[in-house]
Amino acid sequence: MARLSPGQMLDGKYEILEKIGEGGMGEVYKARHVHSDEIRIIKVTKPDALGEGPDSRRFQEEARLATLVRHPNVAALYDFSRLPDGSFYMVWEFIDGITVEEWLRRHGRFPAPRALYVAQQVLAGLSEIHAQGIVHRDLSPDNILLREGRDGRLQAKIIDLGIAKRVAADSLSVTSSGVFVGKLKYCSPEQAGALPPGQVVDGRSDLYSFGVVLYEMLTGRPPFESATPEEYLGKHLHAAPPPMDTKGLPPRAGPVLAAAVARALEKRREKRYGDAREFAAALEKIAPATTEPSEDPGSADEEGPRGRALPWLLAAGILLAAAIALSFIHRLGSSSRADVTPPAVAVPSVTPIPTAGPDEVVVAPRIIEIRTPTAPVTAPPATPTAPPGRERPF
């Protein structure tokens, strides 16, 4: 059963419109802010889903830090509070788009130029998140939203910082209630328990998770697939990812792109990129090798604006060709029926204009009209006069 119902007012300012999702941590609702008349997303956790117990200070501090993140590639967290039953709710920016997970399900793997275009935006958002001292810890295809901007290009937004943790707050991958933080398919070795005692999860954990996401975007499948949670953990801890299939990638970019993703998937975080900016810079160097000069990797349309216009241009060309052909046939028929050859048109001869220096004066050339000589006109023979009493025939 939904914990909130349509029409219900939350905290006196959020009107619940509908329930749009549910997961292991709680429920997701679409709501309207009654004062600003804007649509919001409200995520309500299950009671004590975060293992906080009666003390909510840690959640409040983490949520407060999340509200400080303001970046075009990160969904904004506007508000948060605790309900009487012990659950929390968070109020997020509403984004009208689809997740990377949904895009993969509909279209299969991303074209390489578009995958890199989206990746650079995600890494820009991660850089800001990490600068605020936050590790997302749940980066996955369903936590990256894609929407079409006003310019027709795709915009990527990282969503769901609801279980994000401060770098110095907690080094555990499992909360006190036993709930794993993050999705096993995309978790880093650190989240799976690879860190020695005394060390904490940092931003490089998110880089590993996004390496898994980018691998899937480029190949259509994640590097690790398992039937049990234990098998997932074992593969992230010990198994090398299979070599990335580069057959569908541009020949010049395939090997270097595979190497860049492999570095993000290193088991030891010291071998990965130092931060999101370094990862983004590596992809930026590869991007020109994946894109033709006429391509627009940021176009929200599968074929880009030029692809959308091409069918109309072809149709216009066919209609124009048909009109020219009909006109030619009509003129050909008219000329075959003509009894009189039209007189020749006089063609003017223009003397070339000489090149003038800075101090010279050029006299305009004369235009001489050349007339076609005509033969003298001979008077037609006289018509004989009809005899009296008879009419002259026509």
- Pairing assessment for the beta strands 144-148 and 98-99 based on DSSP bridges: antiparallel
Residue 246 in tokens:
């580069």
**DSSP H or E stretch at residue 45:** strand 38-45
Phi and psi at residue 99, in whole multiples of 5°?
Answer: -80, 160
User: Per-residue pLDDT tens for 376-386?
Assistant: 544 555 444 44
pLDDT at 3: 81
DSSP classification of residue 186: G
What is the reported pLDDT for 26? 80
Give how far Cα 21 sits from Cα of 160, 184, 200, 373, Å.
13, 20, 32, 92
Which position among 48, 138, 202, 296 bears the catalytic label?
138
pTM over 0.85: no
346 against 324, higher pLDDT = 324
Domain boundaries, the chain: 1-94, 96-303
359 labelled catalytic: no
Give the closest residue to 28 by CA, choosing from 180, 205, 138, 159: 159
Which of 56, 76, 57 shows the shortest CA–CA distance to 67?
Answer: 76
Beta bridge partners of residue 31, listed in sequence order: 16, 40
Task: Answer whether residue 372 shows pLDDT above 50.
Answer: no
User: Looking at domain 96-303, does it have CATH number 1.20.950.20?
Assistant: no
R_g of the chain, CA atoms, integer Å: 37
Average pLDDT over residues 75-102: 90
Domain 1-94 has CATH 3.40.50.360: no
Reported for 74-77, long-range contacts at CB under 8 A and 24+ positions apart, including other chains, are 74/125, 74/128, 74/129, 74/157, 74/158, 74/161, 75/145, 75/157, 75/158, 75/159, 75/160, 75/161, 77/161
Q: Is the pLDDT of residue 274 over 50?
A: yes
pLDDT in tens, 238-268: 999 999 999 889 999 999 999 999 999 999 9
Residue-wise pLDDT tens digits, 279-322: 999 999 999 988 765 567 877 665 443 444 444 455 555 666 66
Bigger pLDDT: 282 vs 58: 282
Kindly state the average pLDDT of the residues 197-211: 94
Q: How far apart are CA 257 and CA 116, in angstroms?
A: 10
> Residue 162 has what pLDDT?
59
The whole-number average pLDDT for the span 5-15 is 93
Highest-pLDDT range among 147-151, 223-227, 352-356: 223-227
Task: Identify the three-state secondary structure at position 211.
Answer: helix
